[in-house]
Amino acid sequence: MKVCFFLLKFPVASETFVLNQIVAFIDMGYEVEIVALAKGDMSHTHGAFTRYNLAAKTHWLLDEPEGKKARLKYRALRTLKGLGRPATWRALNMARYGDEARHLILSAICGGQTTPLQADVFIAHFGPAGVTAAKLRELGVIRGKIATVFHGVDVSHREVLAHYTPEYQQLFNRGDLMLPISALWASRLQSMGCPEGKIAVSRMGVDMDKFSRRPLKVPGSPLEIISVARLTEKKGLHVAIEACQLLKSRGIPFRYRILGIGPWERRLKTLITQFGLDDQVEMCGFCPSEVVKIMLDEADLFLLPSVTGTDGDMEGIPVALMEAMAVGIPVVSTVHSGIPELIESGKSGWLVPENDAVALADRLQAFGHVDAAELSPLLTQARQKVEQEFNQQVIYRRLANLLQAL
């Protein structure tokens, strides 16, 4: 079976779950290619991107210059070059293809793609990518079944839903399979009109062979806290920093490292300075996954206090939490989205309410007094949960069987 991953942008440093799935299908022996509309940030890539030579496996449909006018000119020229092909004309049908026709995206792709890209199945990550893939299949640019993975932002962000809900209705008809990553999102897709028979929950997972459990580490002083996340509102890192300010006011010694990049970087740095936490909270920026593992080993606790963004944006089930649980790092998160499907509070980690800095600070302070007798069974249960329900090998073999049956 030939599997092609269809992405709006590749590579994206924060989307390690996509990279992990690509690598897993290669390791399982499938023929794998990647089709992406645009190039991502080639200066921030993880080791697997180079080890598996993924650039050579990737076909980028567009190579647009910077700047709105330059992009439009590029698309117009590509469209003009392809006007001899009927698909290019059809791609300009705004009534059928909406903004992607209006902004010459589909026609530019059709104009530059002379032969169809073929695979047994295209796995589109995020709803909007599935929408575009279905249109391109109709236009003859790609040939194969389409399975669309829904993660969170694509079914929760208010602007995304306002724009894409009508498009999703078409995708539910045109697409072959919808793969929400949580039971919560499965019910959301059903409520939006997707037939139940086209929905299969397919969780993101971790490769358990790469995450051996570390020796038991009881909390030390200072308490070593770490977060690995894209710096956006929904990650709740502003709440974590507020909780840190409370810890400092209570005289609790701690160090907090935040690993990641994103649009909230400046805002978070400002907050750290305003709260006088420059000596306790360190923003480490982008770190390759190999470096992240080393820093995780030094941590007492993994923190991800996710929240619903003011724009409605929500998590799926963060893979970073699964990885921490697999390796034996205690986790603290929030009662948010699909996270309770992963963490049972008090048994495999701890959950506090969203946007509650006081409750979070109380939980972190209490964790500082946890002893080995309490911690050991909790960590065992956490790893078992990931092993049984979020095991990449099991999940992806099941997914491969599902795709072969399409």
Any domain includes 66: no
Whether 158 and 228 map to the same domain: the answer is no
Render pLDDT for 269-305 as a digit per residue (tens, 0 to 9): 999 999 999 999 999 999 988 888 899 999 999 999 9
Whether residue 188 sits in one domain with residue 150: yes
Split at pLDDT 50, 70, 90, the class of 76 is very high
pLDDT category at 332 given cuts 50, 70, 90 is very high
| 232: number of Cβ within 10 Å | 17
Could you tell me the pLDDT band of residue 210, with boundaries at 50, 70 and 90?
confident
For residue 136, is it within any domain?
yes
Binned at pLDDT 50, 70 and 90, residue 220 comes out as very high
Distance CA 231, CA 251 (A): 27
Beta bridge partners of 237: none
Please answer whether residues 177 and 200 qualify as being in contact, where contact means their C-beta atoms are separated by less than 8 angstroms: yes
Angle (CA) 252 356 258, round 5°: 60
Q: Look up the CATH number of the domain holding residue 251.
A: 3.40.50.2000
- The pLDDT, as a whole number, for residue 289 is 81
**How large is the average pLDDT for residues 56-64?**
97
**Same-domain status, 300 and 346:** yes
170 within a domain of the structure (yes/no): yes
Residue 82 lies in a domain: no
pLDDT at position 157 is 96
Share of the chain above pLDDT 70, in %: 100
Residues 6+ apart with CB under 8 A from 67: none
Cα 334 to Cα 229: distance, rounded to the nearest angstrom: 15
Measured distance CA(100)–CA(251) in Å, rounded: 55
User: Is the domain of 289 the same as that of 165?
Assistant: no
Instruction: Specify the pLDDT at position 66.
Output: 93
Question: Do both 245 and 140 map to the same domain?
Answer: no
pLDDT of 345-379, one tens digit each? Answer: 999 999 999 999 999 999 999 999 999 999 999 99
DSSP string of 125-187? Answer: ESHHHHHHHHHHHHTTSEEEEEEEEE-SGGGT-HHHHHHHHHHHHHHHHH-SEEEESSHHHHH
87: number of CA atoms within 13 Å, CB side? 22
310 and 385 assigned to the same domain? yes
For the chain, the domain total comes to 2
Mark whether 157 and 227 lie in a shared domain.
Answer: no
Q: Mean pLDDT for the chain? A: 96
- State the pLDDT confidence band at 234, using cuts at 50, 70 and 90: very high
Can you give the residue range of the structural domain that contains 381? Answer: 208-389
Residues 146 and 164 in one domain: yes
Tell me the mean pLDDT in the region 23-50: 95
Residue tagged 């439009």 (tokens): 72
Percent of the chain with pLDDT over 90: 96
Contact between 289 and 47 (Cβ < 8 Å): yes
Query: In the predicted model, is pLDDT for residue 213 greater than 90?
Result: yes
Q: For residue range 384-402, what is the model confidence (pLDDT) as tens digits?
A: 999 999 999 999 999 999 9
- 188 plus 225 within the same structural domain: no
